[in-house]
């Protein structure tokens, strides 16, 4: 049985420490070594793709991806390597397609029609779709447009009418003034609607480009609730409180939001609901194993009966950090080992005496 676990890192990026690695990588490596496993870090480089595949496919039981795809010049080459490794029998944590499915806003469209995502959620793959449908959804009230891939609030826009009384119309004219606030920094700017939609063309035209259109949920001001998951186990809950401001809605640290870390028991209702939904989520997101470390973000909403409900805002399964809780490294190492042992037991033994 192979006992080597490879951690993939990217060269460069703003998420690295002085040693060039993420601050949460070596704690996991060290924890695995303490438990008798061989663990090491490989920096992915496109020019070394074939050499990395040969090395890892022949010697490693599993890989753990610690690369933010945004730090790569061409993420498709990296994802291709991971797929080839999984096909060669290396255990993927996570599988590259699970990384994509759980890490893109497109997951909201896959989960549309469930209790997690509002029915009036739309996806735009072309500018013609965006220009036609978005003025109609905006006529119903404030909206949030989200680029399919991205982090730290970049490309996520709250869009509201400068003159709210126009919401009585079936469609908003493209000449209408709108106030657009980006979650990256809570900065607002007034545009004509048509010009703003033309600005959003960059999100549609990029690789895997798509825009997700959701209703704005005013209770974001009460905070966004992030569940940090270790596979199928909730680890903690982060209550992310946006800063005060008329148009502010971002719950990222970069925008000044305040984070509070709670044990899952304090959010038992949400946790129970989410765990019950996990089989359905896995089914709709491709039947892959759950990512090793991933998150799901929720916002409170009041339903038609006046009850509190939780709406899924996004998930992240690409490269979730835990630098604020490095003590989790030991639990993560245990989860890696348990996954490897389980998967290796499922592989049928080859009878070498059979001709």
Helix-helix angle 75-87:96-103, to 10 degrees: 130
pLDDT at residue number 165: 65
Cα 335 from Cα 329, distance rounded (Å):
10
The 10s digit of each residue's pLDDT in 194-209 is: 999 999 999 998 777 8
The helix (H) or strand (E) run that includes residue 313 is strand 308-316
Does residue 88 surpass a pLDDT of 80?
Answer: yes
Reduced to 3 states (helix: H, G, I; strand: E, B; else coil), residue 267 is helix
Confidence tier at 39 by pLDDT (50, 70, 90):
very high
Q: Which CATH number does the domain 118-216 belong to among 3.30.160, 1.10.3470, 3.40.50, 3.90.70?
A: 3.90.70
Give every CB contact of residue 100 below 8 A, 6+ residues apart in sequence.
79, 208
Q: What's the rounded Cα separation, in Å, for the pair 249 and 255? A: 9
Two domains, one topology: 103-107+220-323 and 118-216: no
Residue 84 main-chain phi, psi, to 5 deg: -65, -40
Q: Is the pLDDT of residue 353 over 50?
A: no
Domains of the chain, by residue range, sit at 4-94+325-345, 103-107+220-323, 118-216
Q: What is the pLDDT averaged over residues 88-92?
A: 97
Say what the pLDDT of residue 80 is. 96
In CATH, the number for domain 103-107+220-323 is: 3.30.470.20
pLDDT at position 354 is 38
Positive or negative torsion for Cα 315, 118, 127, 139: negative
Task: Supply the pLDDT for residue 167.
Answer: 53
What contacts 98, CB < 8 A, 6 or more positions away? Answer: 92, 285, 286, 288, 289, 290, 291, 317
Q: How far is CA 164 from CA 159, 216, 249, in A?
A: 11, 14, 18
With b for 16 or more beta-carbon neighbours within 10 A and e for fewer, the 203-229 pattern comes to bbeeeebbbbbbbebeebbebbbbbbb
pLDDT at 164 > cutoff 90:
no
Mean pLDDT, residues 257-280 taken together = 94
Alpha carbon of residue 121 to chain centroid: 18
Alpha carbon distance 44, 49 (integer Å) = 7
pTM of structure:
0.91
Tell me which fold the domain 4-94+325-345 belongs to.
Answer: Rossmann fold (3.40.50)
Lowest mean pLDDT among 85-89, 211-215, 328-332, 346-350: 346-350
Section 288-293 average pLDDT: 96
DSSP labels, 139-191:
TTS-EEEEESS-STTTTEEEEEESSGGGGGSSS--TTSEEEEEETTT--EEEE
- The better pLDDT of the pair 182, 349 is held by 182
Low-confidence winner among 68-82, 90-104, 157-171, 305-319 (lowest mean pLDDT): 157-171
């Amino acid at each position: 049985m192979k006992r080597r676990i490879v951690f993939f890192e990217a060269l460069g990026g703003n998420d690295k420490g002085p040693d060039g690695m993420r601050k949460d990588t070596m704690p996991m490596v060290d924890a695995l070594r303490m438990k008798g496993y061989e663990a090491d870090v490989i920096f992915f480089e496109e020019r070394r793709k074939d050499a990395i595949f040969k090395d890892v496919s022949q010697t490693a039981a599993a890989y753990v991806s610690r690369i933010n795809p945004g730090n790569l010049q061409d993420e498709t080459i990296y994802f291709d390597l991971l797929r080839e490794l999984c096909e060669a029998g290396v255990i993927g944590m996570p599988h590259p397609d699970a990384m994509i499915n759980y890490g893109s806003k497109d997951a909201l469209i896959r989960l549309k029609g469930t209790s997690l995502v509002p029915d009036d959620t739309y996806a735009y793959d072309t500018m013609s779709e965006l220009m036609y449908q978005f003025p109609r959804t905006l006529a119903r009230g404030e909206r949030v447009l989200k680029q399919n891939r991205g982090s730290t609030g970049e490309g996520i826009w709250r869009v509201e009418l400068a003159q709210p009384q126009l919401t009585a119309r079936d469609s908003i004219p493209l000449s209408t003034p709108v106030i657009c606030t980006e979650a990256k920094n809570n900065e607002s700017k007034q545009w004509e609607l048509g010009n703003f939609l033309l600005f959003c063309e960059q999100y549609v035209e990029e690789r895997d480009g798509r825009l997700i259109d959701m209703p704005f949920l005013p209770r974001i001001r009460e905070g966004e609730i992030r569940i940090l998951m270790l596979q199928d186990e909730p680890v903690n809950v982060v209550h992310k409180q946006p800063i005060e401001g008329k148009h502010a809605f971002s719950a990222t640290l970069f925008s000044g939001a305040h984070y509070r870390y709670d044990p899952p028991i304090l959010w038992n209702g949400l946790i129970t609901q989410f765990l019950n939904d996990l089989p359905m989520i896995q089914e709709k997101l491709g039947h892959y194993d759950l990512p090793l470390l991933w998150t799901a973000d929720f916002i409170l909403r009041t339903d038609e009966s006046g009850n509190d409900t939780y709406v899924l805002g996004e998930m992240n399964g690409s490269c979730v950090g835990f630098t604020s809780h490095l003590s989790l490294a030991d639990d993560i190492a245990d989860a890696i080992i348990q996954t490897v042992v389980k998967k290796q037991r499922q592989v049928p033994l080859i009878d070498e005496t059979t001709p």
